[in-house]
Amino acid sequence: MNSTDSIGHPKNRDCRASDKFTSEEHHIPDGSVDEDNTLLNQGKQNEPESEPQFGEDGAIESVDKVDISDGDSLVNVDQIIENFKKLAGMRLRGTTPRRYEHVFRRFDKTVNLEQYNKKQLAGSKGKELLLQYLLDKNKVPEPSKRVHNAALKTFWEDGLGIPYPINIRKHLGELPPVQRRQSPKDSDVLPWINAIEHEEEPYLRVLALMIFQLGVRPSHACLFRWKHINYGLDGRPESIITTGREPGNKKMTPVKARLPPDLSDALSRLKSTINAMPEDPILPHRRPSGRLEHSVSMPSNHYWAQWLRFEKKHQLNHLRPVDLRHWVATTCRKAGLSMAARNALQGHKFSGENQGERYDNPQDIDILEEQARVLPYGPIGFICPKMEVTQALPVELTDALGSCLKGDILISQLMEKVTAYLLRQIKKPENTMVA
């Protein structure tokens, strides 16, 4: 499906995952400005200058007389974006800066900011332009208004360096609550699970299983290093633990995850193909030629390219990593995994909403034991139960059952083989009268 998403991502379905934004970001159609809307023309060019007045929420209602250095020069959009990256980029997490920038670029494309100076944008003209954009439901539907307002306010203050000329309560009213994404249905996830089972490339297999089995953010998966893996007595990868305080990994939250068998096997295969050192990333940067740069971490935006490569390779319905993070959280809840163990698995911090969650802080070994007990085969194993075929059965039945599990034969064919075997083995009672 080649459609542009709500924030204008390219039509190649490149709608990158982010946990700071929810489904309201995906309702922003293109449209034209309604110049006749009287509500949008409340700002007047020639109203007298006045001192800034602050509303109940601290927003400036009138800022015509703000002291602005170089306020008569026309603004430069590229410089505004550069200022934003230097200031806001240091405190905003994940892909939030990139999404805020995209909102700002859409706003600039609508109003052409470079024809105005800072004094105009800090006063009534800026208020008029912002309201004209934010109140146009063709450009900013109600579910998206909160996000767009936050993005533009940040650019006004950090990019332009001037006060935001809108009083939210007075001019925009009560903003709608942020909508929460819904987890995808198991039926939508099953084709991906089947594709993972048939994926032969260790690199792609690990990349996909990191999301499906652990539910971590792609940015975290790119920061995982071989030193974060703990090995069992048999030498196989057993768990992955990060403290979130490693040098250079300031954006990583702590992750404490027991590795399901399929992810453990995939990691073993991947490590056997490369000469990895403890400090090397588990998912190194992959060049277009396919060559892996073992000591270079993969940028999070390149993760998306590999994700789409996997999707296209197996001709799958489109799912984003963030969709699978929600699916993992829902599956863990249905399986009965405690909140503490779920947070540790996905790298979530204490939210502050439930004080009991703060006190429930089990030991790492208890968290890993619970994950192994409740989800021995991970979230994938919960919806696709693993059946272990043992040689306690006759070889003939073992082979038939194994072929059925692989999809080589149908269930009806399996039953035919079982019936034929039983008919050969069951002894007829003696003195049976044949009619």
29 part of a folded domain: yes
179 part of a folded domain: no
pLDDT at 252: 63
373 shares its domain with 392: no
334: domain CATH number is: 1.10.443.10
Q: Which of 172, 201, 236 is the last residue of a domain?
A: 172
pLDDT at 247: 56
2 part of a folded domain: no
pLDDT at 213: 95
180 part of a folded domain: no
110 part of a folded domain: yes
167 shares its domain with 114: yes
Please identify every stretch of the chain with a pLDDT value under 70, giving residue numbers as ranges: 1-71, 89-90, 93-94, 174-180, 244-252, 350-358, 386-393, 426-435
pLDDT at 409: 86
268 shares its domain with 365: yes
pLDDT at 169: 73
95 part of a folded domain: yes
252 shares its domain with 200: yes
Closest CA to 261 of 389, 378, 388, 369: 378
120 part of a folded domain: yes
155 shares its domain with 227: no
Distance (Å, whole) CA 143 – CA 176: 6
334 shares its domain with 212: yes
pLDDT at 204: 94
Distance (Å, whole) CA 283 – CA 91: 26
192 part of a folded domain: yes
Domain carrying residue 157: 23-172
pLDDT at 241: 92
Distance (Å, whole) CA 148 – CA 129: 14
Q: What is the DSSP annotation of 187-218?
A: HHHHHHHHHHHT---HHHHHHHHIIIII---H
Q: Which of 149, 172, 195 is the last residue of a domain?
A: 172
86 shares its domain with 103: yes
Q: What is the DSSP annotation of 249-301?
A: -TTPPPEEEEPPHHHHHHHHHHHHHS---TTSBSSEEE-TTS-EEEEEEPPHH
Q: Is the dihedral of CA 46, 47, 52, 54 positive or negative?
A: negative
397 shares its domain with 340: no
Q: CB 191: neighbour CB atoms within 10 A?
A: 14
423 shares its domain with 377: no
Q: Which of 362, 382, 402 is the last residue of a domain?
A: 382
44 shares its domain with 150: yes
Question: What are the helix and strand counts (H, E) for the chain?
Answer: 17, 7
134: domain CATH number is: 1.10.150.130
227 shares its domain with 363: yes
Number of domains into which the chain is organized: 3
279 shares its domain with 312: yes
